């Protein structure tokens, strides 16, 4: 049991014995002792003052002395400051606690029971007309981390993805490929499928813009030119054919989407993310249309003269929202209604979380209201995990279109950067095969990327700085990974040493603080899950690594002469490594055995 719980139980026993008070959980308030006072944990005595009918100082004195006498194995000393009882936990209790942590290879992780709340987390959710970019990277990392954190906090988690696989965007790529592709395939060109499709999307755009320019030079206004350009008309015709199930269009669509999925899968694999269930818009949009028609019949929505269907949300402080176009085709919102319906049919979801960028805040506000109106009781409480934009410093890695940073390029550059970093420190990697060195570069490069993105508050816009992220000093993934690798090296060297009785060790303040910090992990996980905030985990790992490095700097470990102290320090190091590894795993970050 964590020390806090042990102390709380002892305090309950004390007030029961002294004042005949049955203390509730809320009455027993424990804090960390302020650094200027002696002790590690502080009990607030005010809640017992009334029952005791004594001054706070005296109550503190009485509880302190009772604990010292009756729980000597746990409490070794105390002092009272006003209504606060500062307690020194007995070294033996800290050491026993350390041994408990060390033994539990998943310390801080709650078991997931069959009756735990079921949380569905949607993340990634790309369109199929282009490859994943830096924004998706942030999304995928957040979604994955959130899922890990929720699981560690004992929730049942279903990771899901909605692939927006139909619509005008994919028709544009298809049309361009038909016109200018000469039958190019991923095999024939050696290009990843998603990149290939992305190239045709760009080609479409280029030709389309030329057409618009041409029409405008003939005197047409821009708005009309954009609608009248032959290419866009052709793309729309293709979309209509798609909706009519035209076999040729469908076959091409299927073939090209499959290329894209093969490409996405590679990127997902490289990022280390996966899904339990993937939904496709092509399979959900009809459900959405049906629900909208139902809502129309119930008078929740209305039809305009041109045949389009709208929701009037002005009463809710929003505006009017299009749900079906005048030609009957569905929009983005329609699809989301259908997708939500299917998901709740498939799973007994207690909580639905959408990991989607903050440019869609309004969309999810509307979705929540629409689902509620349509009678889905869970609509009201859906969670939009809304994150900010991520950019690279100017001039770094602009893709050809000059707008977004490609995810695959970024991952490759990070691994290369990590490899170059380790080339500076050749001796550390001495004796490793090329393969092993490359594997370390992969772990460190991705660790740098993931940590830098996940350490910041998800809501904030951020700048991803590759150089800074890979620095071995400072608040970075590689710094924490390096701390871990250092401990693993100590562990390898300690293997031959004989065992010793830890209870004979003396415990310094620094060591006590480290044990106390180790004990915080369960509460940090709980907080990260409750606040949907994986960055707490990053902060925890960083602080722990920093504290360990100070300890490592100030104390000998393997060279300590007293066998019991040496064994204690090895045990402590081992537990730090374990917590670092488990904590970082929640962020999807692997740890190298050496680096």
Interface contacts to ligand ARG, rule CB under 6 A? 122, 125-127, 162, 164, 336, 354, 356
Find the shortest distance in angstroms from Cβ 200 to ligand ARG.
18
Work out how close the CB of 408 gets to ligand ARG at its nearest, in angstroms, rounded to a whole number: 17
CB of 334 to ligand ARG, least distance (A): 11
Three-state SS string over 278-335 comes to EEEHHHHHHHHHHHHHHHHHCCCCEECCCCCEEEECHHHCCCEEEEECCCCCECHHHH
Min CB(365)–ligand ARG separation in Å: 13
385: closest CA among 586, 159, 539?
Answer: 159
Cβ closest to ligand ARG, residue 132 vs residue 521? 132
Number of neighbours of residue 549 by Cβ within 10 angstroms: 14
C-alpha closest to that of 93 among 78, 111, 107, 72 = 72
Cβ closest to ligand ARG, residue 126 vs residue 477: 126
Q: Determine how β-strand 320-324 pairs with β-strand 309-312.
A: antiparallel
User: Is 133 or 574 the residue whose CB approaches ligand ARG more closely?
Assistant: 133
Query: Minimum distance from CB of 123 to ligand ARG (Å)?
Result: 9
CA 47 – CA 15 distance, rounded (Å): 10
Retrieve residue 310's tokens. 């709208």
354 or 387: CB nearest ligand ARG: 354
Nearest CB to ligand ARG, comparing residues 272 and 357: 357
Cβ atoms 252, 260 nearer than 8 A: no
Q: Which is nearer to ligand ARG, 202 or 537 (CB)?
A: 202
User: Least separation, in Å, of the C-beta of 281 and ligand ARG?
Assistant: 8
Give the residue with the Cβ less far from ligand ARG, 354 or 376.
Answer: 354
Give the shortest CB-5-to-ligand ARG separation in angstroms. Answer: 41
Which C-beta is closer to ligand ARG: that of 127 or that of 386? Answer: 127
**How many H helices and E strands in the chain?**
22, 14
Report the C-alpha dihedral over residues 157, 355, 412, 263, rounded to 10 degrees: 80
Helix (H, G, I), strand (E, B) or coil at 462: strand
Task: Give residue number: closest CB to ligand ARG.
Answer: 125
Work out the number of other CB atoms within 10 angstroms of the CB of residue 153.
22
Q: Which residue has the tokens 């369960």?
A: 522
Considering only CA atoms, which of 194, 162, 183, 331 is closest in space to residue 252?
183
Indicate the residue among 352 and 577 with the shorter CB distance to ligand ARG: 352
Least separation in angstroms between CB 18 and ligand ARG: 58
- In the complex, least distance from residue 127 CB atom to ligand ARG, rounded to whole angstroms: 5
- Rg of the chain (C-alpha set): 30
């Amino acid at each position: 049991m964590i020390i806090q719980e042990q102390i709380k139980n002892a305090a309950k026993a004390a007030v029961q014995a002294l004042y005949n008070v049955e203390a509730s959980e809320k009455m027993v308030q424990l804090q960390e002792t302020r650094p200027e006072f002696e002790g590690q944990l502080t009990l607030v005595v005010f809640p017992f003052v009334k029952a005791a009918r004594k001054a706070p100082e005296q109550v503190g004195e009485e509880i302190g002395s009772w604990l010292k006498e009756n729980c000597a194995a746990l409490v070794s000393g105390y002092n009272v400051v006003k209504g606060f009882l500062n307690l020194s936990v007995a070294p033996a209790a800290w050491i026993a606690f350390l041994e408990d942590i060390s033994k539990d290879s998943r310390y801080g992780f709650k078991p997931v029971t069959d009756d735990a709340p079921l949380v569905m987390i949607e993340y990634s959710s790309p369109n199929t007309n282009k490859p994943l970019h830096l924004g998706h990277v942030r999304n995928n990392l957040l979604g994955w981390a959130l899922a890990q954190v929720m699981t560690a906090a004992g929730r049942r988690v279903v990771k899901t993805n909605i692939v927006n696989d139909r619509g005008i965007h994919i028709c544009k790529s298809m049309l361009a490929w038909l016109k200018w592709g000469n039958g190019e395939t991923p095999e024939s060109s050696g290009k990843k499928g998603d990149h290939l499709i992305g190239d045709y999307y760009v080609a479409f755009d280029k030709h389309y813009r030329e057409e618009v320019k041409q029409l405008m030079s003939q005197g047409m206004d821009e708005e009309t030119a954009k609608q009248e350009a032959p290419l866009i008309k052709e793309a729309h015709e293709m979309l209509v054919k798609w909706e009519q199930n035209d076999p040729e269009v469908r076959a091409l669509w299927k073939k090209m989407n499959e290329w894209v999925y093969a490409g996405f899968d590679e990127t997902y694999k490289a990022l280390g993310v996966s899904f339990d269930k993937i939904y496709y818009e092509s399979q959900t949009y009809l459900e959405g249309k049906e629900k909208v028609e139902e809502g129309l019949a119930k008078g929740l929505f209305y039809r305009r003269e041109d045949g389009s269907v709208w929701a009037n949300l002005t009463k809710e402080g929003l505006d009017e929202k299009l749900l079906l176009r005048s030609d009957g085709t569905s929009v983005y919102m329609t699809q989301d209604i259908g997708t939500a319906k299917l998901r709740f049919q498939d799973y007994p979801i207690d909580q639905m979380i959408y990991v989607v960028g903050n440019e869609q805040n309004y969309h999810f506000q509307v979705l929540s209201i629409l689902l509620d109106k349509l009678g889905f009781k869970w609509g009201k409480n859906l969670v939009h995990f809304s994150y900010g934009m991520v950019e690279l410093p100017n001039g770094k890695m602009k893709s050809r279109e000059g707008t977004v940073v490609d995810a695959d390029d970024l991952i490759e550059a990070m691994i290369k950067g990590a490899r170059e970093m380790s080339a500076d420190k050749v001796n550390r990697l001495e004796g490793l095969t090329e393969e092993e060195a490359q594997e370390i570069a992969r772990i460190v490069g991705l660790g740098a990327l993931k940590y830098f993105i996940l350490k910041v508050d998800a809501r904030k816009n951020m700048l991803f700085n590759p150089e800074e992220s890979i620095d071995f000093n400072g608040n970075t993934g590689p710094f924490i990974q390096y701390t871990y690798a250092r401990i693993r090296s100590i562990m390898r060297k300690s293997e031959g040493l004989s065992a010793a009785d830890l209870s004979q060790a003396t415990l310094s303040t620094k060591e006590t603080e480290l044990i106390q910090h180790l004990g915080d992990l369960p509460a940090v996980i709980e907080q990260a899950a409750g606040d949907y905030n994986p960055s707490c985990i990053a902060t925890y790992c960083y602080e722990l690594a920093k504290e360990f490095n100070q300890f490592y700097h100030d104390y000998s470990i393997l060279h300590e002469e007293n066998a019991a102290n040496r064994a204690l320090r090895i045990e402590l190091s081992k537990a730090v490594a374990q917590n670092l590894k488990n904590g970082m795993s929640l962020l999807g970050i692997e740890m190298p055995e050496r680096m």
